[in-house]
Structure 1
């Protein structure tokens, strides 16, 4: 597969990538564990079918010391024992916020309450910003057919 155009965040001009990286940096300062943020990024990438992002966030988790077992089962997190209750709440919120059109009440009170049991407002904002930022990338990367790249180092 070849790309339809360069990455739109690059093609749009020199201000876009720094702005997006600034948001990503701010998300890291919300108090949500970095592993949880990366699990959220990976799950949203899987839902949206963004191979470039799935590859990147899997590599990020691996580089941070996460096991292949946890990384490979993010898509089935409900059916595995490998995630903490906090991570499950974050993944549930990220899924609901990614799949807004799948149900009338996109993010149910139950999903919100479960996440709010473990995260304060700043942390909830961090999870939502990570989800939203990931979903922005998932609109750009698959639409322009950016191929996954090797992240072997």
Structure 2
């Protein structure tokens, strides 16, 4: 399969600044970077975004993530390798990514569990990062961007 076009940011370079601001904001609120990487990877898996899955796994591994966790993030509920906070963040990511699957897209039980592990600033960062990941996914899937990408 071939990309339908160059990445839209190549045509609208000013958009890169806005994306960088979102990235920096989400990553400056005190959430463990490994958790943010797992959330990005899980949402990208759900959305079928090859460039984000590939780069997310590659970056996570480069930052010390284990093979066991990377290979099982899609089935995190069935493994012993994720902390309570990571599980809460992954559940939030799944629900916030699959908004159309339920009339109550992010049930209170999911939100409350995340709030048990993260303060408001950290929750804001998680929500922003999940939304930003979904933004990336939608651009890449729509334009059929291929993995790997050189975003570096």
Give the distance between the partners of 1:109 and 1:86, measured in 2 at CA: 16
Instruction: Work out the number of aligned pairs and report it.
Output: 150
1:78 aligns with 2:70: no
User: Counterpart in 2 of 1:7?
Assistant: 7
User: Counterpart in 1 of 2:144?
Assistant: 145
Give the distance between the partners of 1:14 and 1:85, measured in 2 at CA: 39
Could you list the structure 1 runs, at least 4 aligned residues long, displaced by more than 3 angstroms after superposition. Answer: none
Q: CA RMSD in A?
A: 1.1
Q: Deviations over 1:30-55 (max 9, x none)?
A: 11000000000000000000011000
The 8 Å contact of residues 24 and 130 in structure 1, kept in 2 or not, is answered as yes
Give the distance between the partners of 2:117 and 2:132, measured in 1 at CA: 22
Q: TM-score, normalised by structure 1?
A: 0.95
Q: TM-score, normalised by structure 2?
A: 0.96
Unmatched segments (≥5 aa) in structure 1: none
Unmatched segments (≥5 aa) in structure 2: none
User: Counterpart in 2 of 1:35?
Assistant: 34
